[in-house]
Amino acid sequence: MLTSLKKAQKIVIASHNQGKVREFRELLSFLTVEIPNLEILSASEFGLESPDETGKTFKENAILKAKFVCFSTGLPALSDDSGLEVLAINGDPGIYSARWAKKNDKGDDFAPAFERIQQEIAKSETPNENSARFVCALALSIPQDDQDYVWEGYSNGQVVFPPCGKDGFGYDPIFVPDGYEQTYGQLSIEEKNKTSHRTNALNLLKKSLDL
């Protein structure tokens, strides 16, 4: 059934985060080459509410969101659940990465989350340990297909303070990937996509489609 995605005319990104949707559209260019008329839509275009993320892992939450959007739209849905895991604080914020941010009418404000991470590291048993990784669990849900398709990708690096850069979104301004001296917030989207956790997960999807 996974090969049926090649015949799809529309696919919905199960996210209201416009930064994430833009990144997905860039990363899914391989699909639009294979399927020239493919429309890449977002959940917000259908007026859908975000489902409660009740899963205990990135994979569980990604599957939950993909199934919800697929059922609601009748279209193939691609979802990711991603977050930052910081070694010194036992992998936090992890699946709660978005929930560490402050919500307001202008969107998510991650500045309080940056400050919290810095404070938690300082209080930890290893205050000089800045190793971290981004995790992306990518789930695909296809109508009339009961199977869960999930791929997981990682980007290893370290967190840095103060935050640097205004590009990207979320925790990008405090994360420097291995092999670089700049944060994801400073790198262009093209440069970020060479190493990102989302890219690595999508590469696994690409292999599954034999593209």
Contacts of residue 97, defined as CB under 8 A and 6 or more positions apart, other chains included, come to 82, 83, 84, 113, 170, 171
**Among 52, 80, 81, 172, the one annotated catalytic:** 81
Helix residue ranges, H only, the chain: 18-27, 29-34, 58-73, 111-123, 189-192, 197-208
How many Cα atoms occupy the beta-carbon half-sphere of 68 within 13 Å?
Answer: 21
Dihedral angle of Cα 172, 17, 7, 69, to the nearest 10 degrees: 130
For residues 101 and 70, the answer to whether their CB atoms sit within 8 Å is: no
In this structure, the strands spanning 175-177 and 107-109 are: unpaired
State whether the Cα torsion 191-66-85-131 is positive or negative: negative
Residue 84: enclosing H or E segment and its boundaries? strand 77-86
| 92 noted as active-site residue | no
What the block records as the tokens of 116 is: 């919290």
Positions marked active-site? 81
